[in-house]
Every structure is written in structure tokens, then in C-alpha cells.
Amino acid sequence: MASSSSSSSYSNSPCAACKFLRRKCLPDCIFAPYFPPEEPQKFANVHKIFGASNVSKLLNEVQPHQREDAVNSLAYEAEARIKDPVYGCVGAISVLQRQVIRLQKELDATNADLMRYCNEVPNPTLGRRNNNNNNNNNNNLGEGGGGSFYYPSSSSSAWNNDDTCGGGDGYHRG
């Protein structure tokens, strides 16, 4: 009988929470589904920031289908708080928001450059384009439509004779 008891306790190892708290892991343990024994640091971080009692109360108040998301959020916030005690995950969110804003500005500038390039490159089927006509092509080049632009030679062009501005969708060759 002792051998069957030891084999069942071996196969049912305590969850990371019960192991950390040094208590017996019961079959109805609220922590067991969300803090497996293979992830002890996950519970250690959550316990350090929020406390086991608070996490237990929170999990009992949350509906069962939302508990996994709640635990993942607590684990993420706990890890972020350990790395950055002042801002936590808000610091990471702020960094990402600034990066998105910077990349959006860069994308807008690149699109504006592309539009200027497309408006200035002559279309071989129509001959040379007159920059002084008013055809509502939204080229914000100031009065007279002039401006000095760098036009790479055909040997150094990244466009390689593709007619991306004069026709087609700009994504497909042919």
C-alpha cells in the first residue's frame, strides 16, 4: 500500500504555488491549473508583488473562463514590476507607444517622398510631364511645382525600370 501511495504523490506533484507556500496541494487547489510545477518563478513573482492571499481572492471572484487571462495578466505585471518597480508594465507600454508614433511619422514621410517621386518621374507613355499644370495631383512642392530632387541613375535605381508610378499597383511586376 505504501508503494501505491508514493507513486500517486509522485504523479500528482504539487503546483508551483503550493510548493512555494510549502503546503499540501489539494485536488480543488485554486492555483493548480494556472501555476504548474514546471513554472515556479511565475508564482514566485506573482506572490512577491501581489501576495498569495490577494491572488486567491481575485481568482475566486473571477469567472472560471476568465481566470487564465487574469493569471497571465498578473504574471506579466509582476514580472514588469520586478524589472521596473516604479512604472511596471506602463513603462513598457509607453516605450511601445512612442515607438509606434515615431514609426508612423517615418512611414508618413516615406509615403510623402514616394508621392513626390511618382509625381515628378515622367511617364514614358505620356511623354514629359509639365509640372506647372493644375491637375490636382496633390504634389505639395510649393509655387511653380519645382524643387530639386535626386533622381538616381538607372544603374543605381532601386526601382530597376519598374513602372510603379505610371501604372499597375506598385507591388507586382509584369
The angle subtended at Cα 161 by Cα 135 and Cα 130, nearest 5°, is 25
Contact 166, 123 (CB under 8 A): yes
Contact 138, 115 (CB under 8 A): yes
Per the listing, cell 514580472 goes with 79
pLDDT at res. 126 = 56
Query: What tens digit of pLDDT does each residue of 89-106 get?
Result: 999 899 999 999 999 999
d(CA 24, CA 34): 16
Tell me phi and psi for residue 123, to 5 degrees: -85, 120
| CA-closest candidate to residue 33, choices 87, 3, 69 | 69
Query: What tens digit of pLDDT does each residue of 4-46 get?
Result: 433 333 347 899 999 999 999 999 999 999 999 999 999 999 9
Question: Model confidence at 121, in pLDDT bands (50, 70, 90)?
Answer: confident
Q: Which residues pair with 123 in a beta bridge?
A: 127
Question: Model confidence at 162, in pLDDT bands (50, 70, 90)?
Answer: very low
